[in-house]
Structure 1
Amino acid sequence: MVIGPSWIGDIMMSQSLYRLLVQLQLGVQIDVMAPPWCCPLLELMPEVNQALSIPIDHGAIALRKRLRLGQALQQNSYQQALVLPNSFKSALVPFFAGICHRTGWRGEMRYGLLNDIRRLDKQAFPLMVQRYAALAFDSYLVQSAVDLPTPLPWPRLTAKAQEINDALNVFLPELERPLIGFCPGAEFGPAKRWPHYHYTVLAEALIHRGYQIALFGSAKNHAVGKTIATALPADQQRYCCNLVGKTTLVQVVNLIAACQGIISNDSGLMHVASALNRPMVALYGPSSPDCTPPLSPKAKVIRLIDGYHKIRKGDDEQGYHYSLIAIQPKQVMSELEKLLTP
């Protein structure tokens, strides 16, 4: 049993752990419990036996619900629980399920709930994916990232050709141009988003070069997509399709797989595109790629500042962070063209 993270990007990075467990333990069965919005991605991972939706609102303790959930899982006879989030509440279900071996990083005072508790040295494991992968081993075997297998299996998704075509037929039935995807949303709002006006300038340049643009994201970011698309010249708007909030997560996976290239903020869909190994330019501001970079040789990161910065609203229009405002469309276009060149 794995208690998975609560965010799309973290769920994608956790796939490295599942891939590693399958390599290490012949015949292992991995069930992953996660919020319902993450389960469609888990169901696309061949290493996961079963995706279990946790029927509790994000952030809620809901002690009685977690007790009943744990008791219902006792019949599964799990040999070990790996708890990936650092919260107190995330360790409750494995404890209530009576799983004998309960492993995780120390986190929020989880002594007793976890009986194989690790103390995290972030310098020893700089990448989030390394922190997840380390839990596959006994603590004495892996003291730092250098003790992990090389190469570490990165997250990878494979989209089927028929499912890609089905998604295109639903959303882009008259597609005649090569497709470039934009992922302009971000969970923490404008502080992690490249400005909409930069996206519009880049879209105009790509359309001029013969590309079709598709905008992807969750319903909460639909207005961002609409702003980008409607700011284009009238004769170009037909080449920019705002699909933000209109697709399921699985449909987005298949549409991203159909793209020749992706432009993305630091977001969950950035990690999906990375797992699909799409050529991608990833745009970072206050958040840092030092911990959660796109794990693909086809990804290029642009970040104009160094070090850790608190994620908060910037000082300029729409709350965009100054470091993201400073990334110019011409620079992004230049990097994308390098990736698209055979």
Structure 2
Amino acid sequence: MDTDGKPLATRIATGVGKILFSLRTKKLPEQMLLRSNQGSARKVLLLKVGAIGDILMTTPLVRKLSKAGYAVDYAVGVFSHPILVGNPHLRELIVFDDNLIYGKQKSIIENLKLIKKIRHNNYDLILVLDKSWMAGIYAWFCSVFKKTLRIGFDRQGEGFANNVSIPYLQNKHDSLSYLDLAIPLEAVYDEKNKENWKMDIFLKPEDRKFAKRFFQQLHLSKQTIGIVVGGGKNPGQSFNLKIWSKERYAELIGQLIQKYDVLLLGGPSDKEDAEFVMQAAQEQTAQTAMKRKTKHKLHKLVSAVGETSIHQSIALMERCKKIVCSDSGPMHMAATVNENIISIFGPTDPNVYAPLHKKSRYIWKEDCACYTIFGTHTTCTPGMIDKTQAEDVLKALR
């Protein structure tokens, strides 16, 4: 691995790939635009293996293509596919095992089945939403000897298998980078217009009824602060460096419940952290009361961690006054329904990932990101995100 974080295997693959794919038609971008304008390129597949937050950041692109008249299908890993269920801008979801393309346990037979299914659908276009050269190769297998054209990212040479490549520089928010893939189709956007970059989630009426009933039964106020503990866990990857510690959350909540109702949110893998946070926060407030020799009435501290579906959790986020979270999937989930997000960053760059709403705030104590454009983080320091103190978050909440 070099100083820029680019893995050696990627360097080798990029060099070899450029040579092997150097004979492709150079005038393909112009041909593609011509076909698109004539209305012939209308059946589109989006291909992505990714965490929930990554998938959500592609939904503005889904909406853009659908409104431009394209029939949009999405091939997505099973872990994140629920976030796309109910999206009216999608015609079909092709759901596959997350381990197929990048996983350690790759099944040749299952990969061939997926490739065969995609090829059978005879897409006019495949948009490769992953940045890795492996995704580009996979899309090539899904379209070789067909008229299907492939648009994807070029991350320092990794786009060699694409017919049309859009440079990925990680110099803007990822939602906007995904929208850039539609530019060759003349689907332009205004990044200042919220209607272009807002992420989509489609809740069912029963999800919102659940959240309303939850708040009513537990007597949670409209001023309730939602706290997302944990996060950063995805198939094949656990990135704890970007998650604020449970000790910091406990310290924050211990002060918050003196003024606000607090609702803990998270998935099944976060239950242990949530239990620690609840106990530690309650002990902290009890000790504070003893020192002050007061019996200050505390507000409610309630946990829904691990007790809800993804859509029910998002519906709860919608009813909270504000949400506090680390850079994780739930941060993006919250941003689909709530504009008041306080996000805590460490190794990653908030300019690339933080919610774009004007009311949202992020806290970042670093000068630059140690999480590289290639997803490597060997230079990151354990505990770096805990440079952010509870008081920093309290100030942002005021």
C-alpha separation in 2, matches of 1:18 and 1:186: 25
Contact 1:31/1:52, CA 8 A, preserved across alignment:
yes
Corresponding residue for 1:46? 88
Aligned-pair CA distance for 1:242: 2.7
Q: Give the 3 Å change call, closer, same or farther, for CA 298–52 of structure 1 in structure 2.
A: farther
What is the correspondence of 1:63-78 to structure 2 with a 5 Å cutoff? 63-78=108-123
Counterpart residue number, 2:167: 120
Q: For residue 69 of structure 1, report the CA deviation from its aligned partner.
A: 1.3
Aligned to 2:190: 149
Q: State the distance in 1 between where 2:326 and 2:119 align.
A: 41
1:300 aligns with 2:344: no
Question: Deviations along 1:203-235, whole A, 9 cap, x unmatched?
Answer: 2222211x3222222222222111111112267
Residue 125 of structure 2, aligned match among 60, 80, 87: 80
Partners in 1 of 2:208 and 2:47 — Cα distance? 30
Cα deviation, residue 80, structure 1: 0.8
- Residue 320 of structure 1 corresponds to 383
- Segments of 5+ residues of structure 2 without an aligned counterpart are 1-44, 233-237, 287-296, 372-376
Q: Distance in 1 between matches of 2:241 and 2:312?
A: 27
CA offsets 1:313-339 (integer angstroms, 9 cap, x no match): 976xxx422xx32322222122212xx
Q: Which 5+ residue runs of structure 1 have no aligned equivalent?
A: 338-342
Q: Is contact 2:257-2:299 (8 Å) kept?
A: no
Who is 1:57 aligned against? 99
Contact 1:263 1:280 in 2 (8 A): yes
Q: Cα gap change, 1:75/1:212 in structure 2, threshold over 3 Å: closer, same or farther?
A: same
Q: 1:5 to 1:172 in 2, by over 3 A?
A: farther
Give the 5 Å matches for 1:242-281. Answer: 242-281=303-342
The AA in structure 2 aligned to 1:80 is: L
Deviation at 1:96, TM superposition (A): 4.0
For normalisation by structure 2, the TM-score amounts to 0.71
Would the aligned equivalents of 1:155 and 1:295 in 2 still touch at CA under 8 Å? Answer: no
The 1:10/1:42 distance shift into structure 2, 3 A limit, reads same
The equivalent position to 2:149 in structure 1, one of 101, 105, 112, is 101
Say if 1:312 and 1:191 are closer, same or farther in 2 by CA, change over 3 A.
farther
State the percentage of identical aligned residues.
21
| Distance (whole Å) between structure 2 residues aligned to residue 246 and residue 261 of structure 1 | 20
CA distance in 2, matches of 1:77, 1:19: 21
Structure number with bigger Rg: 2
Give the aligned CA root-mean-square deviation in angstroms.
Answer: 2.9
Q: How many residues align?
A: 321
User: Quick one: which amino acid aligns to residue 245 of structure 2?
Assistant: P
Give, as a single letter, the amino acid of the residue that structure 2 aligns with 1:196: K
Give the corresponding residue for 2:40: none
Is contact 1:156-1:277 (8 Å) kept?
no
Amino acid at match of 1:132: Y
With structure 1 as the length reference, what TM-score do the two structures score?
0.82
